[in-house]
Amino acid sequence: MKIAVIALGKIGLPLAVQYASKGHEVVGVDVNADLVAQVNRAVEPFPGEAHLAERLAELVPSGALRATTDYAEAVPGADAVVVVVPLFVDDEARPDFGWMDAATDELGRHLTAGTLVSFETTLPVGTTRQRWKPLLEQRSGLVEGTDFHLVFSPERVLTGRVFADLRKYPKLVGGLSEAGADRAVEFYEAVLDFDPRDDLARGNGVWDLGSAEAAELAKLAETTYRDVNIGLANQFARYAATTGIDVYQVIEASNSQPYSHIHQPGIAVGGHCIPVYPRLYLWNDPEASVVRAARETNAGMPDYTMGLLEGAHGDLTGARVVVLGAAYRGGVKETAFSGVFGAVESLRTRGASPLVHDPLYTDEELRDLGFEPYHLGEKVDAAVVQADHAAYAELGPDDLPGVATVVDGRRVSAPDRWPGVTYRVIGRA
């Protein structure tokens, strides 16, 4: 097949590489000319994605994969077009379709008959049918369901482990017609491999959910569940801390029977998915009070954690406080909705002088994010662990000279690593 992938970001580029590795001709499209040039030189444009560099080095020189900024070079005559353009959401749960509208408009201008179009970007329910279908038909002059087919098939992977996750989880598809869904199943079976999953009644593979709307809701449901679950864990933790109960023992005990799956509390819920997709759900269902309450709870955790620090340390006015971790999660160089922003803002509000350390970021990169960089070995009064980088589990007082208080927002360390230092975690008094 000839396949076009629209947007070569941290999901789109690994997808393009996966398709090319299965013997198909893949052309990736991106508005970033520098990124396109890097891909065409077989250079990994962003670090941290397992196996991406070596696969690029194999597939680009062979001609199986190339990149362009020109839709006219990639879309006409394609058997399938996969769209992974990002969708942004504001604080009021309103989706900003600007980038996706522009990409879909340009896709429609070059769309030719016989093509399967699959949107993988997470969307509010109804978007595929109500927004993308009329726009593609208007721009192309083609009729969906007759001249081309349109489906929704959400990405279900985490950056850093995309290739493993593609094999691990069923590929969900939902079409606007039965024929379109059949084409999508055939397509994804030709470009993906699946690990055996005896725990799934339907088995691992491509699952047709019967409609684009069902597939859209499935992605929103699985990510919103996680946000709600973490919000509940955070509420349990905040209560437990006021009563002298160790919430982690409580969670372990509760999860020892098969009907409880309580997640872990923590300083923040970050990334492109969990903090964002509940807002897309709320856009469709603004009366979803449980979802809204969980989102508010999780959004408030950075400030709550700085309150724990203040309670343990005392007045923070003038204190040098280092936030350990700019990334939203350990080992991933990404700050989308990271708790670092709320933590730094809360520290400033409390009169502290916040500093930020992250082994994945240079001083210049941290300054570009609005932070004052910190280097291990420099004097500091207090510290807060924001990201669960592996290196932070090995830190001790010698790494943070003068530190009097540590609040471990990810529970990566332990009290015995901090002799003479007040050490606190979320969910324990």
Q: What is the 3-state secondary structure (H, E, C) of 348-407?
A: HHCCCEEEEECCCCCHHHHHHCCCCECCCCCCCCEEEECCCCHHHHHCCHHHCCCCCEEE
- Dmax over Cα atoms in the chain, in whole Å? 73
Query: Is the distance from CB of 375 to CB of 359 less than 8 angstroms?
Result: no
d(Cα 143, Cα 128) in Å, to the nearest integer? 15
- Cα 359 to Cα 27, 145, 324, 384, 390, distances in angstroms: 34, 50, 9, 15, 10
Q: Which residue, chain included where needed, has tokens 């969708």? A: 87
Query: Is the distance from CB of 400 to CB of 383 less than 8 angstroms?
Result: yes
CB count within 10 Å of CB 116 equals 22
**3-state class (DSSP) for residue 119:** strand
d(Cα 429, Cα 414) in Å, to the nearest integer? 14
The tens place of each residue's pLDDT in the chain, 429 residues long, gives 999 999 999 999 999 999 999 999 999 999 999 999 999 999 999 988 999 999 999 999 999 999 999 999 999 999 999 999 999 887 676 899 999 999 999 999 999 999 999 999 999 999 999 999 999 999 999 999 999 999 999 999 998 899 999 999 999 999 999 999 999 999 999 999 999 999 999 999 999 999 999 999 999 999 999 999 999 999 999 999 999 999 999 999 999 999 999 999 999 999 989 999 999 999 999 999 999 999 999 999 999 999 999 999 999 999 999 999 999 999 989 999 999 999 999 999 999 999 999 999 999 999 999 999 999 999 999 999 999 999 999 999 999 999 999 999 999 999 999 999 999 999 997
d(Cα 121, Cα 96) in Å, to the nearest integer? 13
Instruction: List the end-to-end C-alpha distance of the chain, in Å, as a whole number.
Output: 59
CB count within 10 Å of CB 317 equals 10
User: pTM for this structure?
Assistant: 0.92
Helix then strand then coil, in percent of the chain rounded to 5, is 40, 15, 45
Contacts for 127-132: CB closer than 8 Å, 24+ residues apart: 127/216, 128/152, 128/174, 128/176, 128/212, 128/213, 128/216, 129/176, 129/212, 129/213, 131/97, 132/104
Catalytic residues: 219, 273
**3-state class (DSSP) for residue 196:** coil
Of residues 402, 428, 401, the one with CA closest to residue 413: 428
Sorted by where each starts, the structural domains of the chain and their CATH numbers stand as: 2-209 (3.40.50.720), 211-429 (3.40.50.720)
Burial letters for 195-216: b for 16+ Cβ neighbours within 10 Å, e otherwise? eeeeeeeeebebbbbebbbbbb
d(Cα 275, Cα 64) in Å, to the nearest integer? 36
Of residues 347, 304, 307, 287, the one with CA closest to residue 323: 347
What's the pLDDT at 91?
66
